Amino acid sequence: MTRPRIFAVVNQKGGVGKTTTSINLGTALAAVGRRVLIVDFDAQGNASTGLGISRAERLMTSYDLVVDRVPLEEAVLSTIVPRLDIVPGDENLSGVETELAGDAHRSYRLKESLHSYIDRVEQGGLVKYDYVLIDCPPSLSALTVNAMTASDALLVPLQCEFLALEGLTQLLRTVEVVRSGLNPTLEIQGVVLTMYDRRNSLSDQVANEVRAFFGSKVYNTVIPRNVRLSEAPSFGKPALLYDYRCPGSEAYIRLASEVLQREKARAA
């Protein structure tokens, strides 16, 4: 059986577009027929809210997966997007670090949860996902390390703003630490430039710097700064449902096709 490909959307800076990318890339992949699961791994629960999941619906969350080893299927909710499901997140996640502190194997919790789900899929009756996207918190905490340990590859959103590259050394060091033990095959699928503003020369400057640093790891697709992307979550919808023709939605559709191309090239 083909396993799902598991991607963590990471950057320890807040507000760079992790959640927007998780939701809209997930939706774009679902729109072209893939089965997608988003794991909301941030205590702010923005991916859940942005997909229209109310607090009251979040009976089980990703917290229960990693702390109490609740089977993933008990926490999964379907969303308004066909083929896109979510394991919601809520503020309980902020306690994970402390709760798992005494467990030497704490970094494997999410991986174990996903893998045991994948094993049960083989027995039938459960949804077989093609892609899992883990929306990480803005930190290099135990949650992010769990996500990196569980993942095949990382998607790194970088905001086209002053100091975009700041903090990357720390991020890349964490990736190296994870590779040297917890997950030797962890790759970087790609770096996505977000909130690009063509009227601002700084945006171009940052984009050039990032391309100089990461080379071909940077996707050709650049996500523009687009108010429709920031409005959509307050309607509990991905931008692709709120306004599928806005520049932000179009960019995420192109990003999804680039992600799929890279996957195809990898498998070949």
Contact region with ligand ADP (CB under 6 A), list: 32-40, 67-75, 113-121, 221-229: 221-229
List 6, 10, 12, 18, residue binding ligand ADP (CB under 6 A): 18
Q: Are 118 and 77 in contact (CB under 8 A)?
A: no
Contact region with ligand ADP (CB under 6 A), list: 10-18, 113-121, 179-187, 208-216: 10-18
Closest CA to 219 of 248, 180, 261, 179: 261
Q: Are strands 77-78 and 84-87 parallel, antiparallel or unpaired?
A: antiparallel
Contact region with ligand ADP (CB under 6 A), list: 15-23, 71-79, 111-119, 259-267: 15-23
Burial (CB count <10 Å: 0-12, 13-18, 19+), residue 125: exposed
Q: Which is nearer to ligand ADP, 47 or 118 (CB)?
A: 47
Output the smallest distance, CB 38 to ligand ADP, in A. Answer: 12
When asked if residue 234 is in the footprint of ligand ADP (CB under 6 A), the reply is no
Q: Which is nearer to ligand ADP, 113 or 194 (CB)?
A: 194
Contact region with Mg ion (CB under 5 A), list: 15-23, 49-57, 98-106, 226-234: 15-23
Residue 8 forms beta bridges with which residues? 134, 154
Binding site partner of 248, from Mg ion, ligand ADP, none, Cβ cut-off 5-8 A by kind: ligand ADP
Tokens (6 digits) for 169: 């050394």
Helix axes 142-150, 168-179, angle to 10 degrees: 50
| Residue 226: strand, helix, or coil | coil
Output the smallest distance, CB 127 to ligand ADP, in A. Answer: 25
Binding mask of the shown chain, residues 36 to 55, with x at each position contacting Mg ion by CB under 5 A: ------x---x---------
Among all chains, which residue has been given the structure tokens 């996640």?
93
Output the smallest distance, CB 78 to ligand ADP, in A. Answer: 22
Q: Where are the alpha helices (DSSP H) in the chain?
A: 18-31, 46-50, 62-67, 72-75, 96-99, 109-122, 142-150, 168-179, 201-214, 227-231, 239-242, 247-267
Residues of this chain, 19-38, that bind Mg ion according to CB under 5 A: 19
List 45, 88, 138, 190, residue binding ligand ADP (CB under 6 A): 138
Output the smallest distance, CB 20 to ligand ADP, in A. Answer: 3
User: Distance (Å, rounded) from C-alpha 109 to C-alpha 173?
Assistant: 21
Who's near 137: CB < 8 A, 6+ residues apart?
Answer: 41, 42, 43, 44, 93, 143, 144
236 φ, ψ to 5°? 65, 30
Q: Which is nearer to ligand ADP, 118 or 145 (CB)?
A: 145
When asked if residue 18 is in the footprint of Mg ion (CB under 5 A), the reply is yes
Which residues in this chain contact ligand ADP in the complex, by CB under 6 A? 14-20, 46, 138, 194-195, 223, 225-226, 229-230, 233, 248
Which residues in this chain contact Mg ion in the complex, by CB under 5 A? 18-19, 42, 46
